[in-house]
Every structure is written in structure tokens, then in C-alpha cells.
Chains A and B, each alone.
Chain A
């Protein structure tokens, strides 16, 4: 099939934008319904406390207050489900309810709901609700939580352990480490982060008593899954009674994948009160009670030879999962972390143990990269530690241990499906060439003589995208309590316009544009004739949502397969219309003609019209050009690349400045380079921020010290240089487009590039490791032999 202008590969500007740049986007808080009430949550100021009583009388006396509800009132609905317990091990599950009953487990845990005529009144009234708490002993640190004498948070979780999981070969690894020429051991903390989409989360629920149906607008990356979980698990009603709508979503980064209390309590209150109820978090609530990410403490040991071969890797991780389990929390530090901890290296013996831990903190779940940034940070830091130990250039150590191209598909021995395709050397070479590695090393040596500290950090990464197939990831295997296929419907209207509906849920990724580019090429129609619809469970086929960099590899492939069906049917009908055999039909530029007679054409519009009016169809053909596909991929995809960061450290203050950032990524086929680069920029920024500025901090009483944007250092424009991006292209054999995924790669690669650079700069001071974020205080202390901040 040929088309005049290929859309795939073109950097066309996004069709999503005209609305968004003129203020016409429709976000959750823009939803306004007749008779709508506003809900505000009364939240626990204690990290761990018994709720002894709630007195709402003063709040109820305030004019405009409609009701105050407690967790007891909502005892007719079930707790929120945990949909991904770690596979093949016992999980001690405890999940939150719409509102806490009896006990608050973290600061910000919801204990009562005030519903009022407007949000100012609701807020006033929330301050008037009197809650009698009895504070209990608190633990916020995962290590301390597992120690004897720690407060026990849940009856079914001795030592606060959620699950104890492992992968790899323990005996072989122990033996490899015992026999090694060189071993390096480190404790590496991957600090807790707060995802911070610029739009906070919220829900608006409406209930129709006449039909018993709910409509819920939600800030969700996965409305179909929310409908399933809310209907089947929380309310125990048929899925058909709930319609979920995601309007424009102001960023998600994982935090908006999950089922949340507000979805349940707005639905419950709307049904109870017979009026629509809106809840929108403020930023403080988003920080206290929506999910966080990362928070690992890991003891790790790497073993190798003096000539730079890695021979063993042993990992023992405590993953802080918070006071309750969020929707897919246990799956993140297991399947998406442990199984990829060997990274881009061929390591003959590796083992990873992960224990999930309850603490009196906000729930921890997927945050951009979800497990994979923790894995690549760990291995990439340790490869640098190993390189420093044997006195070899870190680029050379990487090169010596890369999985060679001829080994693909490659099984890493950690229970992961085989890496699909890869060629790691060229991405490293290209990155070093762009950054001018040798010249920088020379500059570094010169600078050191003058007391200036420049550091160069490398990160070679691989990650897992488009996680599938369902049979592997699902309950019998990795424990995911559903499938992970995607669906698409493509229909051609009478006028020849093509409407694509997808279960994917774009929230900044530009999928409307990307999907339309694909359909334009695959069907040979003008790009402007393709319309992409999404976001409403009543108008789109079931989809598992947009996260895990899966929408192009899985959702996009579902579209490609559907378009193929449409094309085949169109050809059959064209043959009928042209009184020819289908074998003789040529399909070109959205038109069909008989081989050798290109002037007698049937356009897609002609064919769609005939299919719709159905006056003359071939024997047995159904009317309409309308096809649907449910696509379950055979494997995940594995993007990779090398990033290089160059930092300068101010010797007087310890301040780190990021001089350059080079990223060479291989995400397979690129549909729209503008969008792919944008995804990488944003991802890189989030990883750089983890390295340099961000970190959620709880004090020993469980108060969230970084409870607002004043204290939690989301980076500003001045932190970054312009990023220098380039790529290599290694097609994925898993799907017909050859795509891998680009949404998380930047984040997965970047934190360690920057930290390796910082630690490289500090090498003259004997610094071997530094925990993130590398704030000037921490760096200054490391330079001056101080211990404050150097470890954790």
C-alpha cells in the first residue's frame, strides 16, 4: 500500500491544542451541573489515631450545609479494592474505605464529609466538625516499621509486612558474590516523591433515581477500569449502572490511574441526597491523601571481575506502600521493579527480594515509570560504583556488559518475558559523541586542578512498556487482577469521515494526533478526515486506560488491526461494486480500483455510502463499515537508550547546576517526533527533579513536612538547560508498527544520569555515594566530610 504523503514520522502540530490554548478545555473542575452540591473532607491531623467520636452539630447548623457523613454512614459500600497483589505470594491486603472507620492511618485520611451549597460554606463547615481522636504510636519509615516493637498498623500484617516476594536465583547469586574478585555493597534510598499533576484530582457524581444510574466525571487515566471497580467491587451493582467520563485531564503521571475514596463518596452522597455532588482536592489534600511514588530502601551488592565483567547482583528492598494499599501498589515494586533490576546488562546471577511495608503515610503506587525508575537508578548507580572500584571508565564498564544485539530476544533470568529487541552500543556511542565525552573528561581533569568540580554522569537504561499479555500479567501469573489488552472501533461514516474510538485515555500524550496519523496512513485517507474519540465509558469500547507507556504499543496496535479489517471489507465491497474479483482490487490512497484500470475508482466515501445504505451488498455481507478489535499483545516492549548529564558544582555552596543534558533514546518507530521529544523532555525533567530538588518528607509524628508547593520543590524553568535529544531506531517485533513507547523513558533514565554526574564531580572528595536529592546542603556536607545528609 502506498500513500502520497506519509503521516507516520511527521512532526505535525497537535490537533488537541486549539481548545487548550484558548481556555476552552473542559477539566473536572469546569463541570457544573444543575443543583450541584460541593463536598469537603474533614481529614485526620494525626498520622495514626483511633476515632472516638464525631460531632457534626455545629457544622450542620451553618446555613447552606446540607449534610455531614461519616465512614459509619457509608458502611453499606465496600472498601476500595486492591487490583494488583504481588503474584504467587501471600499478600496481607488492607485497603481504604470511602471514609475511615474507627481508625485514621495517615495524616489526611478522610474521616467525615461535609456537603453544602457552595464550596466556601462547605470549607467553613468542615472546620466546625469536631472529631475526638486518640493518637496512637506512629511509624513512617519502612525499615523501622519492620523492626521489633514497631507499632502494628493492621492485624493481618505482622511486622507491617504486606508481602515478601523474590525473583532470580538466590543460591547462584550468593555463590557468585562469594566467589567474586570484587564486590561493592551500598544502601540506596529511592526517596518518596509526590507526582504533582498540575491539576489536582476530583470527582463529580450524579445519580438518576428513576433508572438507578450513576454518571461520574473523574480525573481518571482509566475510566473503564474505574467503572468496573466502583460498580462490581465497591457498590455491588451492575457495571451498566455506572457511566464514567474523563474530561480533559491536567496531567496524571500515574496518580490518576487509581480508584479513590472521592469517587465512592461523591457517588454515595449523590444517591443519598438526590443531587449531584462535586469534590475537588486542593493541593494540600492532593499531597496528603492522593498517592505518592517510589520510597524504597535497598541493600544492594554487585560483584564482578577486575577487568570489568559483572558477575552477580543481590538486592534486598523494602518498599514503603503507605497506610493502606492503593489499587495496584504491590505490583509496582515486584513485577515492574524486581524483574528488570539487571537493566541492560548480561548478568549471570541475580536475585531480588522485595518486602512491601505498611507505614503511617499516604499510599504509594505507580508514579511515572513505576518501579522501572527505581530499578534503573539502582543498577546504574551500582555500575558506576563498580567502575569506580576497579578504576575503569564507566562508559567502558557499560559497554563490556551490555546484552549483545545477537542475544535478542533476551531472557534476563528474573522472570520477565524476553526483551523484544535492542542494540545498546550505538545509543551509548551516539550520546558520548553528542556530549563530547573525551573533551569533557579532559576539561574535568583540568578543572579539578583549579578547584572546580565538573561531573559527567551516564545512564544506560531499558524499560518495560505495553505490559502484556494478559495471560502473563494476570492473576495466575503476576497477580494483576484483570487483563491488559486494548480495544478500538473504527467506523467510516457515509461521508467518508473516519471515526476512531479508543479505550485509551490521552491526558497530554497527544494520542488524538498520533492515532489520527496512523489511521490516515493505514487507510490512505486525509489526516483531517480522521476523528478520534475517547474518555466516556458509554461511547467507547472497554480499555484498560493510559499508563505504563502502553497506549501506542497496545491501543495503537488495536487501531491498526481494526483499520485492516475495515480495509479488507472495503475491498470486498469495492470488488462487488466494480464487478471484479477481490484479488484484482488495488487499494491506494483511500481508493479502490481494478488492477490496470486506475481511472475507474471507488473512494472510501463511495464504499462507505454503499455499505451504509446497503442497497447492493455481496452475498452475506453485513451493512456498514464498522469494525472493532480487542488486542492482547504477545509480549511487552523494551525501549532503551543512554542519557548523559553534565553538572557543575559550586565549591563554596555545594549547589549543583545542570550544564547539559543529552538523551539518546530508542523507542522503536516514531509516529510523531514532536510529541515523542515532548514526552522525553517532560520525563527527563521529572527524573532530574528527583535527583536535585524533590523529596516528600514525613517527620517522626507522621506530619507531611513537604505538604504544599512551598516546601515540595517541583522544579521551575530555571533548573533546566535545553535538552539535547537524539535517537536510534530499533523496531519492536512485538507489534506491526514497530513501536515501543515513550511516555516514561525520560523519567526512567534521568535521575541516575544526574546523580552519577554529581557523584563523579565529588570523586576528589572521596564521595562514593550520595542519596537523592542532591541539595546544596547535602553536597556541601559531602565535600566537607560532614555526615549530615550524606546518608539518607
Chain B
């Protein structure tokens, strides 16, 4: 079990090199080794989407990928998407429309929504709900999450 692999990953714009066990999940590497704890873990069967990050621009469940597979990739986590004084449009939408309650699903939701809007800047409600198929929220009933994403889309296309 002591074999490790050398990886080089650009995380939130910064180059990170590390030796990781081949079995180390990307989400654990981000959370435990890089202290990027905004990415959450809500399940062990790849259902909940609390762990979604962007890998080379695509929304990926980081619990379903080994850190080693991210070698050579660019990873963006919620911490890299926007800052409190420079929110990404989706973060702002979630704040404006009360798109979160406990906030646990929120980073994954925001990362999924940001990727959706990058692909499809003006999604219909049905398209938004479809895009959220891999993300579970237990607090909001999704109502305001949908509105938050619509808000962000409106801002982006206005």
C-alpha cells in the first residue's frame, strides 16, 4: 500500500505537486491535503453531487475520480470559482434567491450550475431541473435553486 504516484494538478490556478496513493480519491486529496474543505462528501455511491468540482471545465463528482486521474488537469473548486467580494454569477444567484439553507449541497450545486450556464447560457426550467439530476438537496425542495440559476442566467444574458 505504500506505492505512491507523483501528480501535478493545477488547482484554482495554482500548480500543485504531490505524491498520492493510487486509491486516494480526488475529493479526499482536495479536502485533506489541500485543505479545500468547501467540496463536500454526502454519500458513498456517487449520487449526491456535494463533491462536484470542475476538471478541465467539466463538472465532475470528485468522489468518483482518483486524485491520480487528475494528473495534468486543471481543477476548479468552489473556493476558486469566486470570492466573497467577487462572487460568480451563480453564487450571487444563490444568495439573492435564497437557493440554500444548510449550505451543505450548495458548493456542488453551484459548480454544477456554473457548468450548465457555461454550456447553455439560457436554460429552460426543465433543462435546469434535468441538469441537477446528479445533485441532491434535502433542504430547499429545489424551488429556489432553480430560481437562483435562472437569476444567474438572466444576469449573464442581460
Contact = CB atoms under 8 A, between A and B. Distances in A.
A718 B104 contact: no
B132 A29 contact: no
A716 B87 contact: no
B138 A22 contact: no
B98 A674 contact: yes
Contact of A714 (B50, B102, B138): B138
A445 interface: no
Interface in A726-748: 746
A24 B133 contact: no
Interface string B23-43: 110000001000111111111
B105 interface: yes
A774 B136 CA distance: 21
Nearest to A22: B84
Interface string A673-699: 011011101111110000000000000
Contacts of A23: 36-39, 77-79, 107
Interface stretch (A249-257, A622-630, A765-773): A249-257
Given A198-B137, A200-B42, A681-B141, A18 B95 contact: yes
A717 B21 CA distance: 36
Contacts of B43: 282-283, 708-709
Contacts of B79: 22-24
B118 interface: no
Contacts of B23: 120
Contacts of B105: 198, 250
Given A20-B103, A283-B45, A13 B96 contact: yes
Contacts of A714: 47, 136, 138
A16 interface: yes
A584 B125 CA distance: 59
Given A198-B138, A720-B142, A682 B37 contact: no
Given A682-B141, A723-B143, A716 B136 contact: yes
A508 interface: yes
A717 B44 contact: no
A21 B146 contact: no
Interface in A696-730: 708-710, 714, 716-718, 720, 722-723
Given A22-B83, A508-B139, A17 B100 contact: yes
Given A251-B138, A710-B47, A21 B96 contact: no
Interface string A200-220: 100000000000000000000
Given A22-B78, A714-B138, A722 B102 contact: no
A14 B132 CA distance: 23
A21 B106 contact: yes
A507 B21 CA distance: 35
Contacts of A677: 98
Given A21-B110, A710-B45, A718 B130 contact: yes
Contact of B102 (A196, A198, A681, A717): A198
A25 interface: yes
Contacts of B1: 124
A678 B83 CA distance: 25
Contacts of B40: 27, 29, 198-199, 250
Contacts of A679: 101
A298 interface: no
Contacts of B95: 13-14, 17-18, 21
Interface string B126-158: 001110110111111111111000000000000
Contacts of B106: 20-21
B140 A682 contact: yes
Interface in B68-105: 77-79, 81-84, 87, 91, 94-96, 98, 100-105
A232 interface: no
Interface residues of A, number: 58
A253 B144 contact: no
A21 B94 contact: yes
A691 B94 CA distance: 28
A376 interface: no
B48 interface: yes
A679 to B, nearest CB: 8
A251 B82 CA distance: 24
Given A23-B39, A25-B38, A682-B101, 12 more contacts: A21-B87, A21-B107, A23-B36, A120-B21, A198-B139, A200-B42, A251-B104, A682-B141, A708-B43, A710-B45, A714-B47, A722-B143
What 10 A-B pairs have minimum CB-CB distances, sorted nearest first?
A: A23-B38, A250-B104, A20-B103, A685-B141, A508-B102, A508-B101, A23-B78, A709-B47, A681-B141, A30-B37
23 contacts: A14-B95, A17-B95, A17-B100, A17-B103, A18-B95, A20-B103, A21-B106, A23-B78, A29-B41, A120-B24, A198-B102, A200-B42, A250-B40, A250-B104, A251-B101, A674-B98, A681-B142, A682-B138, A684-B141, A685-B142, A709-B43, A709-B47, A746-B141
Interface of A: 13-14, 16-27, 29-30, 32, 120, 124, 196-200, 248-251, 253, 282-284, 507-510, 674-675, 677-679, 681-686, 708-710, 714, 716-718, 720, 722-723, 746
Interface of B: 1, 21, 23-24, 31, 35-45, 47-48, 50, 77-79, 81-84, 87, 91, 94-96, 98, 100-107, 110, 125, 128-130, 132-133, 135-146
